[in-house]
Chains A and B, each alone.
Chain A
């Protein structure tokens, strides 16, 4: 008989291979970062532009410009473009965040000779046709309205607005009327200023060889206009006066809760240890918030705490959805757990578990070419390099309970937190 009460031995986790990309320069000096593996004949091309929400003058300008790239060029109509990508089984993904606009494509490597010229075309020759724009705006507006029925979205919108102030690019305070005020001219001007191949960064991952880079050079390595870099805009963070905000949503069965505050940005020395602290609080399945509020009380399906790191600031957000009747109790318990981090030292046992879990996560973050590409973007866009991951690994192994408590005391003053609840009014 085997002894089932006995753990099989757990082996110490090796340091993951923090694979960095190989850089080649195209003829015009443009860097192409490459994370290759040849196991499967598929690859991803990411084109990164400094075209995020931070740089827009009007709401929606950055994201609509990005999405509209696929809706027509001087050479091809919207339908023809869709067909060109679909015929080769390519998956095109257009995405905008606070700081960057991304054009990303996953395709079988054998189709790249046909696809790269089309990709270059949408970046160089987009024309933003009016009819397609109207269709897209209607779709986006409709999604906005559906989202506006969800307590978690209403809560989150109000929460980031409370943290950063209306008008700040991180707050994205979108209104229904914004969909009426965006127009073709605004898209064209944003496009002219921020979508230049010679100011982009190219990232290749998966099955890519020298031929792929040569091909890339043909389509992206010739542009030599050298557009000037636009100066980064400045925005001031103007947090709300009120630290508790209630958003009414008639008929809501559950209430959404957000608790958090502005913290340091990604390149601050406290950012990495704060990540560990936030993981203990609510960053994994056995986190304190999960064990308390789901595991012991059964008040929620899930509760998480995340540290969001951006260029100009970072923030902590604790999110959950609970029955209206548990709303107060849950907010109380959240603050109890925050306070406990400041009052008590974490046990070695718990710290060791979080450490091991995060080491496993770090291995996952570098597992395979697409994950490695993501890991690259995660530091590169923030002006950081792989020292970030080296430090992270080092700190994971060595951080002490005292250091974590010190950090909690420094940042987790209860009075500095914001609480936003969205749900039905009190009965």
Chain B
């Protein structure tokens, strides 16, 4: 049982406290329920650009990092399709400094053209460093665009095109802030060597005066069911051919999500997994192979991907992968195999609790998808999944008409 307590401020802000006295440190995590899904199609990458702007100084604090370092702290942030998460760790005795820093930038940023111009450049360099200048760096651009037609998951968090970032204006930045960065659209998670009552008092003191902004979320367009197989072939300067299959899967709040997660573990978690043993060790069609879920809140993607061994034809590799996927649809997986996956999940679950900072981020991520209380139900959901359910879910997901296949070939 993971024990944490919750308190809501009158402006709507959720405060979650997870005490862990085995550490002298504390973490403060602020999760805003806004991500690249909330962007306009002509301003993709904006949520992530905004994350950078949050470090450019706020109304009363010209520099975010200097005071935090002065207190022995460090921080970072990340943006996903569904959320923007800011986290810091610092010696627990200085936790109030974290409340001071985070509440001021929730109150109001110090919007300036200079900072915007600067962060645009930094993010453009990040864009190049992560994608354009990396072998296989554009895979997710291609996969998303193929798999989604209307849902905003069709572009990656970094943005679809550099020009979208280059053209962002200060007015757009301000509008985005007041529209989404609000106590009623955020959660604060405090973990580590802290007392809940003291955290609630500090939250009231620093975040209490931040006005509610009555955030209204536009419903997102629902992705229509895919009805035909999609395939794309690209040629790039890469050393090996690679093959990607993306299947639509279940939304985060459904049981199917967990079943899909377990399916990818059966397929590719650890050296004893099916795809590794069959495709890499036995048939040697691939030099590496993997399967994973995109982890999104709305219906996301289940991906199978691998780099082909030299001289193996795409068609041969494709057939072999489908054989394995079809096997999951046709045969019940042995109880020992499902136990293996559950044991691995149990290890990971306990491992994640070793670190207060990690726990703060986990609670924040779950709060974003429907409530941190979920953390105490996760394992029981996984443990209750049956071989029959795996088979039925595999049959529903692994259909050619639910698949987008990307052939990523050498030039």
Contact = CB atoms under 8 A, between A and B. Distances in A.
Contact of A150 (B89, B135, B344): B135
B122 A298 contact: yes
Interface stretch (B20-28, B251-259, B401-409): B20-28
A149 interface: yes
Contacts, number: 212
A360 B104 CA distance: 23
Interface string A277-298: 0000000111000000011111
30 contacts: A2-B206, A2-B209, A5-B61, A8-B96, A11-B91, A11-B93, A41-B350, A42-B350, A87-B272, A87-B343, A89-B340, A89-B346, A91-B347, A106-B351, A107-B347, A108-B346, A149-B237, A285-B69, A285-B75, A286-B65, A298-B117, A298-B125, A301-B125, A301-B126, A321-B129, A353-B70, A359-B72, A360-B91, A369-B354, A370-B354
Contact of B22 (A37, A106, A322, A360): A37
A208 interface: no
A251 B132 CA distance: 10
B69 A364 contact: no
A198 B284 CA distance: 37
A1 B210 CA distance: 12
B192 to A, nearest CB: 9
Given A150-B135, A298-B118, A367-B24, A145 B272 contact: no
A316 B234 CA distance: 41
Contact of A83 (B66, B272, B284): B272
Interface string B229-250: 0000000011110000000000
Nearest to B276: A82
A368 B119 contact: no
B70 A356 contact: yes
B380 interface: no
Question: Taking each of B22, B61, B136, which has the highest tally of chain A beta carbons within 10 Å of its own beta carbon?
Answer: B22
Given A4-B100, A42-B354, A300 B122 contact: yes
Given A4-B100, A91-B351, 10 more contacts: A11-B91, A87-B339, A108-B346, A135-B287, A139-B287, A253-B128, A254-B128, A357-B69, A360-B90, A361-B74
Nearest to B99: A8
Contacts of B211: none
A16 B122 CA distance: 36
B281 A132 contact: yes
A232 interface: no
B183 interface: no
Interface of B: 22-25, 59-61, 65-67, 69-75, 89-91, 93-94, 96-97, 99-100, 103-104, 107, 117-123, 125-126, 128-129, 132-136, 205-206, 209, 237-240, 269-273, 276-277, 280-281, 284, 287-288, 307, 309-310, 336, 339-340, 343-348, 350-351, 353-355
B188 to A, nearest CB: 16
Contact of A364 (B25, B93, B117, B343): B25
A88 to B, nearest CB: 6
Question: Taking each of A82, A252, A369, which has the highest tally of chain B beta carbons within 10 Å of its own beta carbon?
Answer: A82
Contact of B23 (A85, A91, A367, A370): A367
A186 interface: no
Contacts of A37: 22
Number of chain A interface residues as a range: 35 or more
The binding surface of chain A is classed by DSSP as: mixed
Interface of A: 1-2, 4-5, 7-11, 13-14, 16-17, 37, 39-42, 70, 78-79, 82-83, 85-91, 106-108, 132, 135, 138-139, 142, 145-146, 148-151, 206, 251-254, 284-286, 294-301, 321-323, 352-354, 356-357, 359-361, 363-364, 367-370
A103 B355 CA distance: 23
B252 to A, nearest CB: 24
